[in-house]
Chains A and B, each alone.
Chain A
């Protein structure tokens, strides 16, 4: 799908572009910092291969990997080949793979070493000379977050943050900040060197087709928008449940927790897309303006309110998929007295004309009963019921369920008559599944995002003010939880639907949708 957001100056002026599904990407040199890391290995390098396979990379494309490991270009190329063969969504075409790898370069060194940037600069100039034109530059920061400001500052000092007659962009992986203060600081540090229009903050959820489909569902269908407000909607639930534990990520997770790991970014983005006003166009800034407006309508809780609107918990021992598993505190690398939450549930309110009085519930957790990411919009009950509910489960409020993963689709629950002589009603589902309705396979989120970053389309990236607004909502909860060092952290059995404490957020007349 070609979004209207890409209707840039070049599209209007290049007469050869009209009708093409794949828009051109200007000649680009991509520099991946942290190129030997896990994200690069599993996601970025396979995504690059798939772009190459489909002919989506720019006609002049160069890549440099930067990481601490001392190795030669050839060793790096072997490593990249292995990553692609192992993790690409399609079996690599040997000739395309050879072509992609043949010119790949590697610059070893630590990220605060000036020499690294000197060598990078030389390589980039060499590419420009070889191409006979300055290539656009994309610096992809796939490193530990403490290196983000270091790399940005060093790029600035080495005069690599700007390039005459070509665009320079910086892509920054999550997490963007650790709390509100650190996010502000990081924003300032990055924006000291780069203009906002050069900065692409990744939230890979936004690259998922189903997340983008949220906008299509809302704004391309007259069916939904008329009921998308407080007059018809009772409440919204957004769930991101995982059926696995923290794996070998204790080092990261102990410092992050569920709220930072999923709520502050992915789930809040889903909330913003679900509740924002229709943008005047799908231009990057118009969409992000609307997201910002709705995020600013969510009043951050005061310290005294946190206990009433947020629940945290840790998984204890339990049974997952028929196998006994240990609790979070027994995981390797986890402090036995850790208070890090593996489950978080929130009740938020969007204080604007459209959403006033409609609670939005968010929950996420590890080691839950099922892996699912979904949004459930529950409508208010019909005002008058002419039927009796005898002999059936009766009329239930309609629900619109948007499943992000694993089976992407939309379903609408409706009341229907059970066949027979009496008027008995039960809910039935009307289902739309991507797999049954589209021929194409969804590309990996990273393929879309890398391409958009190279093209300079920021629609699916988080703007600086948006990041601050996101942290502004979550930070008071983090602070309150951090300050509370005495009350016990609730536990839930691994393999369950989460802690009973989360039920109180919903009140007496609502319940969490079954996982």
Chain B
């Protein structure tokens, strides 16, 4: 990949925008086969000391790079704007795509009026997604009018209930892509597949247990997984209670007096996200899916056939892949996230 770079200290948004236009004009004049990507803008607001780490995470999103990434690095006591704009392209390709990134170092004083800094720099007429992994609520608030999609990670917050409440609040003003929700995607897909045959689908009405095993820091993902199952199957939810350790357990009810035992259990594993799910239905039948080499290990038990195990193939996406998926999801709309989020909040201990 080749790069064109521009930088300026004590700069302003107009200068940055002019630099981007100038670089684009020059590059296009030099090689007409290069065209700027025009898919979406990504605005990232970070603490300056974590800028490198976030930039590395963004590098690992694979092919799901935003067209123009604007990284706002916030540094205490800074009063001026310093900016670096980079245009990245592959000249070897016949027709190549140019991606642009801008890093702006700014101070906390700039955040209240961040829209006036960022607005001239975003590409008009394409969606804008905002990710603020280190808080900076004031900045997010300032950008409210610009935002089409809010990227959040409910697993990042220490209190999952508060994180889910925040996501719910954001959902009122923008489409929310929650990385905690995306960590549950393969599990939701596999459960949907497992209960897709007519024989199995009939069992959905007689489920009596649902357990989720999760990384200790991914309780929000586990709550969303349980929320998804409940919202899809119209369970009547009661708040879960703390059991041994950090485990949460409780019951959900169906229209009949039947109930479903719910358990969310922390599990020791290196990667964030879920470690496994177990679904139980009448007469002691269970189906478990757990992380394994090369996919998920499926383990089915029924009293008449005993236990069977097999591997459900699939490569892990890794955290880079999850973030990339988050960027890609900005163009999609998942109608099941909202109901799952509401249900997940109802599962939270001490929920109203």
Binding site for B on A (CB under 8 A): 10, 13-22, 24-27, 52-55, 57-61, 93, 95-100, 130, 132-133, 406-407, 431, 433, 435-441
Contacts and interface: CB of A to CB of B under 8 A. Distances in A.
Interface residues of B, number: 51
Interface in B222-245: 229, 232-233
A95 B195 contact: no
B192 A20 contact: yes
Contacts of A17: 192, 196
Interface string B315-343: 10000000000011001101111000000
Contact of A22 (B189, B311, B328, B337): B189
B39 A53 contact: no
Nearest to A102: B311
Interface string B293-326: 1110010100001001011111100000000000
Interface centre among A16, A19, A58, A406 (most CB of B within 10 A): A16
Contacts of B337: 19
B39 A10 contact: no
Given A16-B232, A18-B335, A93-B294, 13 more contacts: A13-B201, A16-B191, A17-B192, A21-B332, A24-B189, A24-B192, A24-B193, A55-B189, A55-B312, A59-B190, A96-B294, A436-B36, A439-B327
Given A19-B334, A52-B313, A407-B94, A96 B192 contact: no
B204 interface: yes
Contacts of B214: none
19 contacts: A16-B192, A16-B196, A16-B204, A17-B192, A20-B192, A21-B332, A27-B197, A52-B314, A55-B190, A55-B315, A59-B312, A96-B294, A98-B294, A133-B197, A407-B95, A431-B35, A433-B95, A435-B37, A436-B35
Contact of B328 (A58, A60, A440): A440
Contacts, number: 122
B193 A25 contact: yes
Contacts of B293: 95, 98-99
B314 A439 contact: no
Contacts of A58: 193
B38 interface: yes
Nearest to A19: B336
Contacts of B336: 18-19
Contact of B313 (A16, A21, A99, A407): A99
A401 to B, nearest CB: 14
A26 B196 contact: yes
A374 to B, nearest CB: 14
A100 B314 CA distance: 10
Contacts of A59: 190, 193-194, 298, 310, 312
A439 B232 contact: no
Contacts of A16: 188, 191-192, 195-196, 204, 229, 232
B201 A132 contact: no
B19 interface: no
A15 B204 contact: yes
Given A59-B190, A99-B313, A406-B94, A10 B35 contact: no
A17 B65 CA distance: 28
A100 B332 CA distance: 31
B295 A435 contact: no
A435 B63 CA distance: 11
A437 B39 contact: yes
Q: What are the 5 A-B residue pairs with the smallest beta carbon separation, nearest first?
A: A55-B314, A24-B193, A19-B336, A95-B294, A99-B294
Contacts of B39: 436-439
Contacts of A96: 294-295, 313-315
Nearest to B196: A24
B272 interface: no
Contacts of B298: 59
A20 B192 CA distance: 9
B97 interface: yes
Contacts of B332: 21
A96 B229 CA distance: 28
Contacts of B229: 16
Given A433-B95, A436-B35, A19 B313 contact: no
Contacts of A10: 196
A25 B192 CA distance: 10
Contacts of B77: none
B199 interface: yes
B186 interface: yes
A100 B311 CA distance: 9
B295 A99 contact: yes
Nearest to B312: A59
Contacts of B36: 436
B64 interface: yes
B315 A433 contact: no
A15 B232 contact: yes
B296 to A, nearest CB: 8
B95 to A, nearest CB: 5
A439 B99 CA distance: 12
Contacts of A99: 293-295, 311, 313
Contacts of A133: 197, 199
A61 to B, nearest CB: 7
